[in-house]
Amino acid sequence: MAGAPHFFTCNLCEAQCGLRLTVEDGKRVTSVRGDDEDLLSHGHVCPKAFALRELYEDPDRLRVPRMRDGDAWRDAGWTEALDMVATRVADIQKRHGRDAVAFYYGNPTVHSHRGSLAVQLLTAALGTKNRFDPNSQDSNPRLFACMQMYGDALSMAVPDVDRTDYLLVLGANPAASNGSMMGLGDPKGRFAAIRARGGKIVLLDPRRTESAAWATEHCFIRPDGDAAFLLAVLHVLFADNRVDRERVRATASGVPELRALADAFSPERVAAAVGIDAATIRRIARDFSGAARACAYSRVGVCQSAFGPVASWLVEALNVVTGNFDREGGVMFPTAAADIAPLGRLLIGNHYGRWKSRVRGLPEFLGSLPSAAMAEEMETPGDGQIRALVCLAGNPVLSVPNGPRLERALKKLELFAAIDFYVNETTRLAHVVLPAKHVFETGNFDMVLGRFAVRNVVKYSPPIVESEGPDDWDIACEIALRLRAPFMLRAGRRLARDIPERAIDFLLRTGPYKTSLAKLRAAPHGLDNGALEPSKGDRVRTADRKIRLAPPPLVTDVPRVAKWVDEQAARANGLVLIGRRHLRSNNSWMHNVHSLAKGPDRAQLMMCPDDANRLGLEGGARVRIKSRAGEVIATLAVTGDLMPGVVSLPHGFGHQIVSGTMHVAGALPGPSANALTDDQRVEPVIGTSILNGIPITVERE
């Protein structure tokens, strides 16, 4: 019978929307809607919230381990499956060393406390230098910029959306993504409030996205153009004496160096290359610095470009030199109730380049190597070759560049163990799939995103349905104990079960608000710890406590930006590919849920009318898209929303091969964009994959 409503925080994206659910018999979720009283999201939800229930009921979602014998699959018991994984990992590590077993963990681990801690435990238990994660396809450039400038990768300021007068958005589409490193329920309402108080939202994107409708201005920008654009904005600010150099010098070093770099990038010099005329660049610079309170914000469109680290640094620099760093209405540091940063610093530290990938010499960053190196490390024989993979909550065949190459490499591994609840494009190649649990069964607490939310709200959602078997954390414990302390498997298992909740309680009690898990349990709509506040000077952790405005590893990459500007002038008629996200999708998954998957083909290639005419193509045509790495077929959509010379295809599709194990997703049309992206194209600073601005050709199939 339906009892009292349950309140639960959706874990599918960073918005952390509060849901109100009804559950029958402790097993059946009978209704889902937004929780109007939620202190972060105020009742806002997106279509994915309702899909959580369908995901829970999905018959294709695994409930017991699956093992593969050649091409045949069979159900297996937990003990058999876990014993097999541990025995073979131990054997491979004994024969070839610890690094022979690679570890990849995917995006959903950020959205689950038991998943986040499973990552740490498996990292320790496997002890491999071949650790990979999606950050090298995502936020590493921003983390690196923060580490260089503020001395800590996790010192990441977020825009004070609720109080700013001018929001400059580069390479983000919150109308689809619901905000990233800017955790905010109801982005639409919050953006409308900026406009209602007379503020401006200026969006720079090669596509006129859904977010353009929320902005006061949208400008097309050439893919990869952000670094040059930002240097030109800084050029204007310095040339017009709009930088209060005395004030900036009090908190930051490197002002003269930054000025000297920007000197060479006048708006007139970069305009043609970035696709924004000089007058507009000057106006944006002046409006930004003239606004009472302004913030510049960039996300994956910028991170995944050829200049991700440099452009991410320049966004931060713009906030600093205009006095908008760490102040109300500018960018500020959230204060998480359970702060994992000290733990992170302890476990990982602020490092990069401590080791390098064997084949291409790409640098480690925060304990992981760039995923673009994964396939070649598996394929290239010799000492240190990867021979096995443990993959937790990831679908790298669809999410890393040149997925088909990785697919071929995975097939040759001695052991591939996946912890996931679908047999998808990646896990179908595993020897064993250990099914993860649904979030309704594990409960939800965000250990990471409190650091990125636009308001200091903390919530805990206990499990709402009963279930048996281990979850991500338990699976990690079972593997870790078998590998490192088999003699205490039984006792360890019992002791370890509640460690994640105890860790949260400890962090809450010792954290800035001195709260506890019990208090959160008693506050189902969350505890509000208030709006963002300027920090007490503890977020800049460089040796001299000053912000570094011209960090050497980033400064040395600026000549490449100049070269790009010059080369763009001689650009021929070539097309480049960018990605996109959709509200009804979530990276490479949630496509097996009918309510989200239904409707039009969302993996069409978008192209502007001029380019389509030039190529003699029309909407609905089947086209072949070719890049250096590969080729795919897609249906063409002609739209005025794309910048000339730029086409767009979302990532995370290409499910046809799994139609036997994912019945809804498998019937969807559309290829994988990562069959076109190139594992050999990474930016040179930290090896981030370049996933936008991919040179391609398009022809009728």
**Residues in contact with ligand MGD by the rule CB under 6 A:** 13, 106-108, 112, 115, 134, 137-138, 170-174, 176-178, 180, 204-207, 209, 221, 223-224, 226, 299-302, 304-305, 392-396, 399, 419-422, 424, 436, 472, 578-583, 585-589, 651-652, 673-674, 677, 691-693
Name the amino acid, one letter, at 573.
N
Could you give the CA distance from residue 492 to residue 452 in angstroms, rounded to a whole number? Answer: 34
CA-based nearest residue to 651, from 598, 588, 593: 588
How near is the Cβ of 58 to ligand MGD at its closest, in Å? 10
How near is the Cβ of 344 to Mo ion at its closest, in Å? 18
Q: Phi and psi for 577 in degrees, rounded to 5?
A: -100, 135
- Closer to ligand MGD at the Cβ: 56 or 422? 422
- Selection from Mo ion, ligand MGD, ligand SF4, none that 420 binds (CB < 5 to 8 A by kind) is ligand MGD
- Closer to ligand MGD at the Cβ: 456 or 661? 661
- Selection from ligand SF4, ligand MGD, Mo ion, none that 394 binds (CB < 5 to 8 A by kind) is ligand MGD
Asked whether the beta carbons of 575 and 697 are under 8 A apart, the reply is yes
- Closer to ligand MGD at the Cβ: 129 or 218? 218
- Selection from ligand MGD, Mo ion, ligand SF4, none that 137 binds (CB < 5 to 8 A by kind) is ligand MGD
- Selection from ligand MGD, ligand SF4, Mo ion, none that 161 binds (CB < 5 to 8 A by kind) is none
How near is the Cβ of 18 to ligand SF4 at its closest, in Å? 9
* Structure token digits, residue 203: 């969006």
Name the helix (H) or strand (E) containing 24.
strand 18-24
- Selection from Mo ion, ligand SF4, ligand MGD, none that 421 binds (CB < 5 to 8 A by kind) is ligand MGD
How near is the Cβ of 302 to ligand MGD at its closest, in Å? 5
- Closer to ligand SF4 at the Cβ: 177 or 542? 177
Q: Output the 3-class SS for 626-673.
A: ECCCCEEEEEEEECCCECCCEEECCCCCCCHHHCCCCCCHHHCCCCCH
Contacts of 497 (CB under 8 A, 6+ apart): 474, 477
Q: Phi and psi for 236 in degrees, rounded to 5?
A: -65, -45
- Closer to ligand SF4 at the Cβ: 182 or 388? 182
- Selection from Mo ion, ligand SF4, ligand MGD, none that 16 binds (CB < 5 to 8 A by kind) is ligand SF4
Binding site for Mo ion (CB under 5 A): 138
Contacts of 398 (CB under 8 A, 6+ apart): 424, 425, 426, 588, 651, 652, 653, 654, 672, 674
- Closer to ligand SF4 at the Cβ: 49 or 554? 49
Q: What order do you get walking across the sheet with 28-34 strand by strand?
A: 6-9, 18-24, 28-34
- Selection from Mo ion, ligand SF4, ligand MGD, none that 687 binds (CB < 5 to 8 A by kind) is none
Asked whether the beta carbons of 450 and 337 are under 8 A apart, the reply is yes
Name the helix (H) or strand (E) containing 458.
strand 455-458
* Structure token digits, residue 520: 């959160």
CA-based nearest residue to 67, from 54, 91, 48, 83: 83
How near is the Cβ of 248 to ligand MGD at its closest, in Å? 25
How near is the Cβ of 179 to ligand SF4 at its closest, in Å? 8
What part of residues 10-49 is at the interface with ligand SF4 (CB under 6 A)? Answer: 10, 12-13, 15-17, 45-46, 48-49
- Closer to ligand SF4 at the Cβ: 10 or 625? 10
CA-based nearest residue to 331, from 155, 527, 550, 199: 155
Could you give the CA distance from residue 529 to residue 73 in angstroms, rounded to a whole number? Answer: 50
How near is the Cβ of 311 to Mo ion at its closest, in Å? 17
- Closer to ligand SF4 at the Cβ: 185 or 470? 185
488 CB neighbour count, 10 Å cutoff: 12
How near is the Cβ of 44 to ligand SF4 at its closest, in Å? 7
Could you give the CA distance from residue 588 to residue 433 in angstroms, rounded to a whole number? Answer: 18
How near is the Cβ of 45 to ligand MGD at its closest, in Å? 12
- Closer to ligand SF4 at the Cβ: 10 or 232? 10
- Closer to ligand MGD at the Cβ: 419 or 615? 419
- Closer to ligand MGD at the Cβ: 366 or 540? 366
- Closer to ligand SF4 at the Cβ: 128 or 586? 586
Q: Concatenate the DSSP letters of all residues of 183-240 into one string.
A: B-S-HHHHHHHHHHTT-EEEEE-SB--GGGGGSSEEE---TT-HHHHHHHHHHHHHHT
How near is the Cβ of 518 to ligand MGD at its closest, in Å? 25
- Closer to ligand SF4 at the Cβ: 46 or 607? 46
Instruction: For residue 20, give the 3-state DSSP assignment.
Output: strand
- Selection from ligand SF4, Mo ion, ligand MGD, none that 10 binds (CB < 5 to 8 A by kind) is ligand SF4
Name the amino acid, one letter, at 663.
H
How near is the Cβ of 386 to ligand SF4 at its closest, in Å? 34
How near is the Cβ of 132 to ligand MGD at its closest, in Å? 9
- Selection from ligand SF4, ligand MGD, Mo ion, none that 416 binds (CB < 5 to 8 A by kind) is none
How near is the Cβ of 304 to ligand SF4 at its closest, in Å? 21
Pairing, β 432-434 against β 66-69: antiparallel
Selected range binding ligand SF4 among 8-16, 119-127, 475-483, 637-645, rule: CB under 6 A:
8-16
- Closer to Mo ion at the Cβ: 138 or 407? 138
What part of residues 49-68 is at the interface with ligand SF4 (CB under 6 A)? Answer: 49
4, 205, 506, 643 from 607: Cα distances, Å: 50, 15, 52, 8
- Selection from Mo ion, ligand MGD, ligand SF4, none that 221 binds (CB < 5 to 8 A by kind) is ligand MGD
- Selection from Mo ion, ligand SF4, ligand MGD, none that 49 binds (CB < 5 to 8 A by kind) is ligand SF4
Asked whether the beta carbons of 142 and 181 are under 8 A apart, the reply is yes
CA-based nearest residue to 474, from 446, 488, 493: 493
CA-based nearest residue to 140, from 358, 16, 308: 308
Residue 191: burial class (beta carbons within 10 Å; 0-12, 13-18, 19+): buried
The residue nearest ligand MGD at its CB is 301
- Closer to Mo ion at the Cβ: 13 or 418? 13
- Selection from Mo ion, ligand SF4, ligand MGD, none that 604 binds (CB < 5 to 8 A by kind) is none
How near is the Cβ of 439 to ligand SF4 at its closest, in Å? 10
- Selection from ligand MGD, Mo ion, ligand SF4, none that 15 binds (CB < 5 to 8 A by kind) is ligand SF4
* Structure token digits, residue 492: 């360890």
How near is the Cβ of 10 to ligand MGD at its closest, in Å? 11
What part of residues 168-207 is at the interface with ligand SF4 (CB under 6 A)? Answer: 178
Could you give the CA distance from residue 592 to residue 82 in angstroms, rounded to a whole number? Answer: 27
- Closer to ligand MGD at the Cβ: 450 or 652? 652
Measured in whole angstroms, the distance separating CA 264 from the mean position of its chain's CA atoms is 33
Name the amino acid, one letter, at 140.
N
CA-based nearest residue to 206, from 694, 591, 661: 694
CA-based nearest residue to 454, from 167, 133, 31, 153: 167
How near is the Cβ of 107 to Mo ion at its closest, in Å? 5
Residues forming a β-bridge with 169: 203, 297
Residues that bind ligand SF4 (CB under 6 A): 10, 12-13, 15-17, 45-46, 48-49, 178
